[in-house]
Amino acid sequence: MSFPSTTIITARCPCRANDFSIAVPSSELPLAGSICHCDSCRHLTGCLFFAAAKWPYTLPQSPHLKSFSFSDSLNTYFCDICGTQIFSERVKANSGQQTDATETNIVYVKSGALEETEGVVKYETHLCIGDTTDGGVSDWISEVPDTSMMKRWKGMTEQREQVPVGWRAQGHSTTTTEANNSGHGADKIRGSCKCGGVSFHITRPDAKSADWSLDLRQHKPEYEKPKEPWWLSGPDKDKYTTNCCCCASCRFASGVDFVSWTFVPSHNIRPAGDAEGQDWSTSFGTLKTYASSERSEWCFCSKCGAMCFLKLNGERPNVVDVASGLLWSEEGARAEDWLWWLTEKISFDEEGGKRPLVEALRSGLKSWNEVHGNKMQFEEKAQHLGYK
Ligand SMILES: [Zn+2]
Ligand SMILES: [Zn+2]
Ligand SMILES: [Zn+2]
Ligand SMILES: [Zn+2]
């Protein structure tokens, strides 16, 4: 008698209060996955996209899974200790409609919370690219391994309209290079999580923003201090350096395969309604802090689970990593009027391993850089972005 082969798949958060392993018949793999670029997913994760796959069983029970009502028909679940987004569930009951007893809820697992995705998830569709206005990171995750033709829907699948790589909303022609070299208008940019409990704005760099003392590592003999503070970018140093990170720590903290951080001096971050000049702290709104190590503190929304900030105490407590997906810019999801994307290097690339979305990011950025790369200043900055 032979038994069908099974594969163990594990979804978990960094604090391991939520740690679920299930045996899936190998014949059911890979699980169907999709990537959503809508405004809601962006502000729910703090990342520029959200990838999920169908979990083949019912929603696991855990006292530390906190639910958030994402929409009438979708609940999301995150760790109430460390904030990681782990599951979502499509339900009928929320809408007030009669529940069909034969119809079971569909459970999705967040791709970044999965230990492994190679051979486990097959990403089939991009959703809601239209929300990004500028293509967001859909332009960089165009060639996903083992996926011959990913559909690139402008909206949800029902809408049937696809958009190509490099698509821009009508009247929107800006590319990274153009945006990086153009002037800017607004003097602040708003940021918020999906539920609005964490709401803030960022101001343009000022004289104090370029103060080297913000990076405490400068005093270490082994630290090669670059000519200019690495967190400011652009010809006029009026943009904030931004890059993608593939480290396991960021991935598990967000539930997203790769995250994007914008590096901002703390005095340039103002909680909504806060008086100017007041010291910034991570105790505003619905923020909750999780200390993942002696060095680092994650700050997430305790109501919706959005990843918001990462602080490296002891190294650069006053240059804060801001989750780029929280920002609202008319330029689009990449907020290129404020952010300078370092597209030539992925932070902790090696930790991304063979995850399909990281492989896609590598090849997508390579193609992107041939046309739009921000080579200027790159070499020098890249050495100073290391964090974990
Ligand atoms: Zn946790
Ligand atoms: Zn979405
Ligand atoms: Zn929130
Ligand atoms: Zn990271």
Distance 248 CA to ligand 4 centre (A): 7
Give ion ligand 2 contacts, CB < 5 A: 36, 38, 41
pLDDT tens, position by position, 98-140? 555 556 799 999 999 999 999 999 999 999 999 999 999 999 9
Distance 25 CA to ligand 4 centre (A): 32
Give ion ligand 4 contacts, CB < 5 A: 245, 247, 250
Q: Position 150: which residue type?
A: M
pTM of the model: 0.89
Neighbours of 200 (CB within 10 A): 25
Distance 335 CA to ligand 3 centre (A): 20
**What CATH number does residue 212 fall under?**
2.170.150.70
Residue 164 within any structural domain of the chain = no
Pair (86, 222) in one structural domain: no
Distance 206 CA to ligand 4 centre (A): 27
Pair (187, 149) in one structural domain: no
HEC profile of the chain: CCCCCEEEEEEECCCCCCEEEEEEEHHHCCEEEEEECCHHHHHHHCCCCEEEEECCCCCCCCCCEEEEEEECCEEEEEECCCCCEEEEEECCHHHCCCCCCCCCCEEEEEHHHECCCCCCEEEEEEECHHHHCCCHHHHCCCCCCCCCCCEEECCCHHHCCECCCCCCCCCCCCCHHHHHHCCCCCCEEEEECCCCCCEEEEECCCHHHHCHHHCHHHHCCCCCCCCCCCCEECCCCCEEEEEEECCHHHHHHHCCCCEEEEEEEHHHEEECCCCCCCCCCCCCCCEEEEECCCCEEEEEECCCCCEEEEEECCCCCCEEEEEHHHEECCCCCCCCCCEEECCCCCECHHHHCCCHHHHHHHHHHHHHHHHHCCCCCHHHHHCCCCCC
Q: Which of 125, 159, 193 is the last residue of a domain?
A: 159
Distance 216 CA to ligand 3 centre (A): 31
Domain count, the chain: 2
pLDDT tens, position by position, 218-268? 777 777 767 778 999 988 899 999 999 999 999 999 999 999 999 999 999
Residue 287 within any structural domain of the chain = yes
Taking 70 as the threshold, does the pLDDT of residue 339 lie above it? yes
Pair (243, 344) in one structural domain: yes
Residue 388 within any structural domain of the chain = no
Pair (138, 258) in one structural domain: no
Alpha carbon 122 to its chain's center: 20
Distance 244 CA to ligand 4 centre (A): 8
Q: Which of 159, 189, 215 is the last residue of a domain?
A: 159
Pair (370, 233) in one structural domain: yes
Give ion ligand 3 contacts, CB < 5 A: 193, 195, 197, 301, 303-304, 306
Residue 111 within any structural domain of the chain = yes
Distance 208 CA to ligand 2 centre (A): 37
**What CATH number does residue 75 fall under?**
3.90.1590.10
Residue 2 within any structural domain of the chain = no
Distance 183 CA to ligand 1 centre (A): 42
Q: Which of 98, 132, 159 is the last residue of a domain?
A: 159
Pair (90, 203) in one structural domain: no
Mean per-residue pLDDT for 309-332?
A: 93
Whole-angstrom distance, CA of residue 365 vs CA of residue 325: 18
Q: Which ligand is nearest to the CA of 65?
A: 1
Residue 170 within any structural domain of the chain = no
| Gyration radius of the chain's alpha carbons | 21
Residue 169 within any structural domain of the chain = no
Distance 44 CA to ligand 2 centre (A): 9
For residue 74, what are the domain limits?
A: 7-21+29-159
The answer to whether the CB of 68 falls within 8 A of the CB of 84 is no
pLDDT tens, position by position, 170-210? 876 555 444 444 445 678 999 999 999 999 999 999 999 99
Residue 313 within any structural domain of the chain = yes
Pair (362, 265) in one structural domain: yes
pLDDT, residue 387, reads: 38
Pair (290, 182) in one structural domain: yes
Distance 220 CA to ligand 3 centre (A): 38
Pair (191, 87) in one structural domain: no
pLDDT tens, position by position, 64-86? 999 999 999 999 999 999 999 99
Distance 325 CA to ligand 1 centre (A): 21
Pair (123, 270) in one structural domain: no
Distance 89 CA to ligand 1 centre (A): 19
Record the tokens describing residue 337, joined without a space. 């009027």
User: Could you give the percent of the chain with pLDDT greater than 90?
Assistant: 66
Pair (39, 68) in one structural domain: yes
Pair (155, 183) in one structural domain: no
